[in-house]
Structure 1
Amino acid sequence: MTTVCLTFDFDAVSLWISTMKQTTATPLSRGEFGALVGLPRVLDLLADKDVSATFFVPAHSAGAFPDCVTRIREQGHEIALHGYCHETPIGLTREQEADLLDRSIEKMRSVLGRDYTPKGYRSPAWDLSTNSIDLLEERGLLYDSSMMGDDYRPYRARKHFSADEDHYERGEPSRVVEIPVAWELDDFPHFVFLNKPMYLGMRTPAEVFDLWREEFDFCHSLGNGVFTLTMHPQVIGRGPRIAMLSRLIDHMRSHADVHFATMAEVALEQSDWVKVK
């Protein structure tokens, strides 16, 4: 059985404020496009295809666009954590990182209600500190989706790793399921143009369709794998790209033994037997 996880990082303006350090009107408008144009297109497509997805939402996005986040939940999709304002945890003390994580959960609950209990986390820019997995485990999160130690098979995330020029210690396995990601399966590097820092995406939807189709076909040939796409409403939400994603969903559904699931569903299904790498 091949499981397909469609995931969307709803960064909105937080990406530009924190990661890109750009707070002028034009970059912020790109985030607004994601919230006000791209996200409705994504949600309409998912409803049309009857697919449940996972949305990784910075707490800042929930506060800035609460109606959008509420609509995501009302349509039955999973909402997972994605930092407070799309910041990297690298360079933070354990206490600082723990505080950001707790503040993120609290702000999400202020929008979604006290019953909101996140099951998963994806680090902004896919980077984790030596404390990240331990902190997620302490708070009872089931999974992380930030690492690349496999392509299509989840594994146990390790905590307390250590690395320098003389040695490497992988750390000990945690209870957190790692559902791996890949830059090849992310829309951002393929499509986004930036001059600071330099991104020269601008690939056509047809090119990316071929790349993602071939990746899926290989995953399906394995007989048992999790195919994860990472997308952003402000990127995939442009018209021709949404049409490309629609074609890709149809292609994946044309294969036998394929089903679509949220990441929480994958983590719950695999938590008891997923391998330690």
Structure 2
Amino acid sequence: MTTVCLTFDFDAVSLWISSLKQTTANPMSRGEFAPRVGLPRVLALLLEKGVKATFFVPAHTAVSFNAETRRILDDGHEIGIHGYCHETPVGLSKTDEASLLDKAIAKLRNALGQDFTPVGYRSPAWDLSENSIALLEERGIVYDSSLMADDYKPYWASRGFQVSEEAYQAGPASKVVEIPVAWELDDFPHFMFLNKPLYLGMRTPAEVYELWREEFDFSATIEGSVFTLTMHPEIIGRGPRMAMLSRLIDHMKSTSGTTFSTVADAARHWRVRSH
């Protein structure tokens, strides 16, 4: 059986403000495409296909585009933590990282309601500090989806690590389930064009469909696999790419033994099976 997790990083303008340090009119408009055009198209497709998905949302997005973010929950999808304003945790002290994580959770609750309780985290940088997993574990976060030590199989994330030119030593296993990601299964490197820094992601939807289909077909040969796609409404939301995603969902649905799930449900299911 293969579990498919469709995930969407709803960065909106926070990507440009924090990660890319570009706040002029053009990058802001590219960020606005996500709530204005991309997200409605994504939600409509998910409704049409009868599929629940997971959206990783920076606290900045939840406040700036509150009605759009609330619609994600109203449609029955999961929202996970995606930083305060799409920042990297790498290089922060443990105290500063903990403070920023708590501020992000508090801001999400203020925007979405005090009963909102996120159970998942994805680093905006797809990278973690040596303290990140321990901090998530302390806050009862069920899963992380930022790392790449496997392709289609969840695993227990390590609580820290030690690394030098002499040796690498992973820390002890935590209680946080890692749902692995992959650049191959992210729409950003395939489609995103940036002139600063130069990033020529101009592949056609047909090329990416073939790549993602072949990755999925291989994952379907692995018992208990979790096939996780990472997408962004401002990227995947363009018309021809949405048509490609629709075609891919139909292909996956036609494959025997395939189910669709939020990442939270997939992580909980794996956690039960692994004990």
* Corresponding residue of 1:97: 97
* Corresponding residue of 1:171: 171
Amino acid at match of 1:156: W
* Corresponding residue of 2:31: 31
Separation of aligned partners in 2, 1:137 and 1:223: 27
1:172 Cα offset (Å): 0.7
1:194 aligns with 2:174: no
Q: Deviations over 1:99-155 (max 9, x none)?
A: 111000110001111101111000012010000000000000000000000000000
List aligned pairs for 1:127-166, cutoff 5 A. Answer: 127-166=127-166
The size of the alignment, in residue pairs, is 275
Amino acid at match of 1:162: Q
Q: Which runs of 5+ in 2 are unaligned?
A: none
* Corresponding residue of 1:234: 234
CA RMSD, Structure 1 to Structure 2 (Å): 0.9
Separation of aligned partners in 2, 1:146 and 1:160: 14
Separation of aligned partners in 2, 1:160 and 1:224: 26
Amino acid at match of 2:156: R
1:77 Cα offset (Å): 0.1
Q: Which runs of 5+ in 1 are unaligned?
A: none
Q: Deviations over 1:162-185 (max 9, x none)?
A: 112122111110000000000000
Amino acid at match of 2:211: L
Amino acid at match of 1:188: F
1:21 Cα offset (Å): 0.3
List aligned pairs for 1:49-60, cutoff 5 A. Answer: 49-60=49-60
Contact 1:156 1:274 in 2 (8 A): no
1:272 Cα offset (Å): 3.1
* Corresponding residue of 2:203: 203
Amino acid at match of 2:43: L
* Corresponding residue of 1:61: 61
List aligned pairs for 1:254-269, cutoff 5 A. Answer: 254-269=254-269
1:224 Cα offset (Å): 2.4
Separation of aligned partners in 2, 1:33 and 1:195: 18
SS at match of 2:157: strand
Q: Deviations over 1:26-50 (max 9, x none)?
A: 0111110011100000000000001
Contact 1:157 1:178 in 2 (8 A): yes
Separation of aligned partners in 2, 1:273 and 1:3: 14
Separation of aligned partners in 2, 1:46 and 1:132: 31
* Corresponding residue of 1:3: 3
1:271 Cα offset (Å): 1.1
Separation of aligned partners in 2, 1:65 and 1:113: 15
1:255 Cα offset (Å): 0.8
* Corresponding residue of 2:244: 244
Separation of aligned partners in 1, 2:31 and 2:38: 9
Separation of aligned partners in 1, 2:165 and 2:36: 46
1:198 Cα offset (Å): 1.8
List aligned pairs for 1:98-117, cutoff 5 A. Answer: 98-117=98-117
Q: Deviations over 1:217-274 (max 9, x none)?
A: 0000123200000000000000000000000000000111100000000111111344
Contact 1:155 1:274 in 2 (8 A): no
Identity percentage over the alignment?
Answer: 66
Report the TM-score, using the length of structure 2 for normalisation: 0.99
Contact 1:158 1:172 in 2 (8 A): yes
